Amino acid sequence: MDESARTSVLESVSRLVLYALVFLLPLFALPFALNPLDLSKSLLLYFGVLLSGLLWLIVRLQKGEFTFPKSSIFLGLLALLIVYLVSSFFSSSIPLSLIGPGYNTDTFAFLFFGGAGLFLVSSLIDTESRAIKFYITFFVSALCVFIVQLLNVVFNVKLGIIPNGILTTSTANLIGGWNDFGIFFGLVGLTSLIFFEMYPGRKILKALSLILCHLWFSHACFSRLSVFTIFF
């Protein structure tokens, strides 16, 4: 295998790591943790972004060129990272501000890896076909999350592949708190609606995005009904 072929393989593996990350992140949960959802998802994010980033860096070094997305979003993200880093050194507890216990979303480490993941997606998912695959992977993962939640809430069925202690109540889910679940499906609904409106391709993909839009609406109605039931 020549160097160009090896470089292409490494780049493909780095891209596949991102696909796997976006699919597994909503579903992933470890049974051995005090906060199993938060910690497991944070560790998966760190590992996936680190692995994909190292492969991307190797490819760039082999090619001898570095290309960066031309977007003002990344300038704002860089400024935000600098502000977080500087403020962490002025904190009363620098290690907690920089890393925390490993799963906090308001630390510099989490923001850094999240920003690095965003950069890798924009660098590696650089064609329409790859972007479609990325969105489909995300939609399929969201559909799996909804099916698990439907089985838990409506039929009280606990899947054996879900670690014990995760789905203990009707509002427990694979994303985190009930508000986190609502935010996640809000993102899914908006993304699927945009995909449905802008993608002119296969009908089966548009049907999938339309189904996710209906699921998002159903979740919103269910959430409001649950709050109404609690208070009235």
Domain ranges of the chain: 127-232
pLDDT attached to residue 206: 63
Residue 99 pLDDT > 90 = no
pLDDT attached to residue 91: 82
Residue 226 pLDDT > 60 = no
Q: Which tens digit of pLDDT belongs to each residue from 158-211?
A: 665 566 667 777 778 888 887 888 888 888 878 877 777 777 666 666 666 666
Distance CA 193, CA 175 (A): 21
Q: Which tens digit of pLDDT belongs to each residue from 35-85?
A: 778 888 888 999 999 999 999 999 988 888 877 777 778 888 889 899 988
CB atoms inside a 10 Å sphere around CB 123: 21
Of 8, 51, 44, 1, residue with least CA distance to 23? 44
Of 11, 7, 14, residue with least CA distance to 117? 14
Model pTM score: 0.83
Of 175, 136, 151, 211, residue with least CA distance to 37? 175
Residue 225 pLDDT > 50 = no
Band (154; pLDDT cuts 50, 70, 90): confident
pLDDT attached to residue 57: 92
CB atoms inside a 10 Å sphere around CB 152: 22
Q: What DSSP letter does each residue of 13-46 carry, written as one string? A: HHHHHHHHHHHHTTT---SSSSSHHHHHHHHHHH
Distance CA 85, CA 81 (A): 6
pLDDT attached to residue 223: 52
Enumerate the H helices of 30-127 as residue ranges.
36-63, 72-89, 94-98, 108-124
Distance CA 119, CA 181 (A): 25
Q: What are phi and psi of 156, to 5 degrees?
A: 55, 40
